[in-house]
Amino acid sequence: MNIIFVSDSLTRGKSITLGHSQMLMLTLGWLLLPIFIAIGLYYFTLSQGGMPSQQNRTQNHVYLQENLNTMAARLGQLQAQVFRLDALGGRLAKHFGLPEQEFNFGQKPGQGGAEPGIAQYQLNPRQLEQELARFAKQLDARADSLSVLEALTLREQVKQSAFPSLHPVATGWFSSNYGWRLDPFSGKEAMHEGVDFMAEAGTPIKAAAGGVVVYSDYHPQYGNMIAVDHGNGLISRYAHASKRLAKVGDIVPQGQKIGEVGSTGRSTGPHLHFEILSNGAPQNPVRYLQVPG
């Protein structure tokens, strides 16, 4: 192929002869030229802001780290709430005597099921943070409910401990019941305002309920006697003791040893005379005492 160049400055035209290989290279160059131009424009655009700069990469890293720190702090709060729920659940399970193997709060509950048939999706950081916040609110609500339940349970427990229901001595039968009987000294019918527990001298006397000792002295009729105020107008009396181990003003819990069985005062032999008064009126202790065992 011959190419002839004609110009006013030239006295005669010039020609260039191109062979097959040269023609092929020229044709290929014209075809590749738009591609080279597009690539050049692409890299020029990236250099002007298309590619993230070092500053942008630093900002993105800081933003990601802040989100991770926020979620880590939220996770720590959730862990603390779970520990609190474990403690509350353990105390309530112990109080109600629930089997430990059925309420093992330290063991992860089993989960499973068939593979979901619908499409699944991955949570983005914002959605994950929202789920954590929602879960934290649910944990707070559960913890508050359990705390109220525990408070009510403890209050009921306190009420029960202040109720004179525990046998004051380890025996299951009475030598004399509450009510009218023949007096062992006069032989006449008289009102017996308590119950007499048969027990050997020295047998521990325990408080039938928690309360405050309001009397601890020698009584002409009852001998060594202790009286415990349980509140709500209830008072229990323990008479004919050989020893008094509690003094006035002592706060005694239910079941605490406050004396020992004896035969002091108006008594025919070792035993415990036990009374319960409600607002000053004698009551039948059998109505309060629990059945042994």
Q: For residue 169, which of 195, 200, 206 has the smallest C-alpha distance?
A: 206
Q: What is the pLDDT of residue 32?
A: 47
pTM, two decimal places:
0.51
Q: For residue 1, which of 12, 26, 25, 16 has the smallest C-alpha distance?
A: 16
Q: What angle do CA 188, 194, 198 make, to 5 degrees?
A: 90
Q: What is the pLDDT of residue 185?
A: 83
Q: What is the pLDDT of residue 200?
A: 93
Q: What is the pLDDT of residue 244?
A: 97
Could you tell me the domains of the chain? Answer: 63-101+124-161 (no CATH), 174-287 (2.70.70.10)
Q: What is the pLDDT of residue 225?
A: 98
Q: What is the pLDDT of residue 293?
A: 39
Average pLDDT along the chain: 75
Task: Say whether 62 sits in a helix, a strand or coil.
Answer: helix
Q: What is the pLDDT of residue 172?
A: 62
Q: What is the pLDDT of residue 57?
A: 66
Mean pLDDT by 10 residues, the chain (293 residues): 53 53 51 52 52 64 67 66 68 65 57 62 68 74 68 63 86 81 86 93 95 96 96 93 96 95 95 94 88 43
Handedness of CA 117, 118, 119, 122 (dihedral sign): negative
